[in-house]
Structure 1
Amino acid sequence: MASSGGSYVLQNSGSDEDLQQLMDQRKRKRMVSNRESARRSRMKKQKHLDDLMTQLSQLKKENNEIMAHVSITMQHYTNMEAENLVLRAQVAELSHRLESLDQIKEFMSQPVDYGGGFVDELYCGGGTELMDEFMNNSLSCLCVNKPILASSDMIRY
């Protein structure tokens, strides 16, 4: 019996050793698995960070392109606004000239009475051809046909 009891102790200690080895093996396996999982997690985080940095770079590039486009558009708008002001000034000046020419035409078409019943036919009735030639001849009134000199540089905001 003693021998059987001694063999039981040997078997038991062998089982304990096997159990300890099995537990150590599982522990090492778990540590390796945890390390691998942590490595994958770090790699995943790094990839996500790299993706975000790439996206940030792309967004900055797009933002710079948009800002350049807005700047060009604003410059065009400013130029158009200045040109519009010049054109409005020219319209006002030309309207004033037209009004003056209409007044001259009206004055020229009225008969002139020098007293004693003599009416000068040059400016009325019979002289309308001369009047039309005068109004249509661009050399007849040089001061009226001077160009308006204005540029967008003269206008300040």
Structure 2
Amino acid sequence: MASSSGTSSGSTLLQNSGSEEDLQALMAQRKRKRMISNRESARRSRMRKQKHLDDLMAQAAQLRKENNQIITSMNVTTQHYFNIEAENSVLRAQFSELSNRLQYLVEIISFLNTSNDGFESGEPWTLPQPTTPDSLMNPLSLLYLSQPIMASADIFQY
């Protein structure tokens, strides 16, 4: 009996060690599969992260480009605005000068109408024709009226 139990325990041991080796091999294979799966998952995660980073970098570059375009457009518009403001100031100065000249001419005509009432038949005085020798119609005396009005934006303070 002893021999049969010894053989029996020896074969059980062999079966156990075969099973343990198979179990260890199976566990090692699962561990390798899990490790490969984890590595692949980490690689995919790094790729997603890199793609996200590349997308963000492209978006930042696009936003910088749009920002520069907006700044350029704003600078052009601002320069255009200042040019229009300067031109507007010149036109205001010219308007003021022409208004003053018109007022002076109205005063001259009014003066001539009042002074001519005693000499003529009471009709209002009109501007004389160029052939009339009149000191007011002398081209040299009216030279200042034909001069262009010179004004620039520099003379005005904003």
TM-score range with shorter-chain normalisation? Answer: 0.7 to 0.9
Per the alignment, residue 125 of structure 1 pairs with 122
SS in structure 1 at match of 2:151: coil
Q: Aligned to 1:52, which of 48, 56, 59?
A: 56
Per the alignment, residue 83 of structure 1 pairs with 87
1:91-141 Cα deviation digits (max 9, x unpaired): 11111111111111111111358xxxxx322xx625735x3547xx8x583
Per the alignment, residue 4 of structure 1 pairs with 8
Instruction: Output the CA distance in 2 between the equivalents of 1:112 and 1:127.
Output: 8
Q: Please state if 1:151 is matched with 2:156.
A: no
Could you tell me the TM-score, scaled by structure 2's length?
0.82
Q: Unaligned stretches of 5+ in structure 1? A: 114-118
Instruction: Output the CA distance in 1 between the equivalents of 2:8 and 2:128.
Output: 148
One-letter amino acid matched to 1:148: I
Instruction: Output the CA distance in 2 between the equivalents of 1:74 and 1:104.
Output: 45
> Are the equivalent residues in 1 in contact too, given 2:90–2:152 (CA < 8 A)?
yes
One-letter amino acid matched to 1:144: L
Correspondence list, 1:1-157, <5 A: 1-2=4-5, 3-111=7-115, 119-121=118-120, 125-126=122-123, 128=125, 131=127, 133=129, 141-155=142-156
Residue identity over aligned pairs, in percent, reads 57
One-letter amino acid matched to 2:119: D
One-letter amino acid matched to 2:122: G
> Are the equivalent residues in 2 in contact too, given 1:79–1:152 (CA < 8 A)?
no
Count of equivalent residues: 147
SS in structure 2 at match of 1:120: coil
